[in-house]
């Protein structure tokens, strides 16, 4: 397996958390707007084809794409937008792992193997 471009420690991941939180909340709002627009479009499909919410949908789509790009550019993996689940690539005992954080947690305090995902989440010591 190739080395990830960015490797985080607990400390470097925690230093980014304030910005990660802000961006994740913006991403969640934009994602919810896009999903809500899709639902409203499906329910109004029998109408005349006009869509007053198209500009809002477009703005929300751009916001979501911009926020996802910010995470990707830093090597941070967004696992679940709605739950606010984030993985930071890291190393533990020379192995590639993920430092795991979820919106609402105070700090990055968990990790898991690349293969096990969230189900294999363990506390950092």
For 45-75, write each residue's pLDDT tens digit: 455 555 566 788 888 899 999 999 999 999 9
Phi-psi region of 117 (alpha: psi -120 to 50; beta: other; left: phi over 0): left
How many CB atoms are located within 10 Å of the residue 89 CB?
20
pLDDT in tens, 70-124: 999 999 999 999 999 999 999 999 999 999 999 999 999 999 999 998 899 999 9
For the chain, give every domain's residue range: 10-44+53-123
What distance lies between CA 6 and its chain's CA centroid? 16
Which residues, at least 6 apart from 56, have a Cβ–Cβ distance to it below 8 Å? Answer: 33, 37
């Amino acid at each position: 397996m190739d080395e990830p471009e960015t490797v985080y420690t607990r400390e470097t991941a925690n230093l980014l958390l304030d910005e990660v939180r802000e961006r994740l909340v913006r991403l969640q709002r934009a994602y919810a707007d896009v999903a809500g627009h899709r639902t409203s479009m499906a329910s109004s499909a029998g109408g005349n084809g006009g869509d007053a919410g198209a500009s809002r949908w477009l703005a929300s789509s751009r916001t979501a794409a911009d926020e996802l790009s910010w995470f990707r550019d830093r090597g941070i993996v967004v696992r679940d937008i709605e739950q606010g689940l984030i993985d930071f690539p890291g190393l533990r005992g020379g192995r590639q792992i993920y430092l795991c954080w979820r919106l609402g947690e105070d700090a990055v305090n968990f990790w898991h193997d690349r293969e096990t995902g969230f189900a294999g989440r363990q506390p950092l010591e």
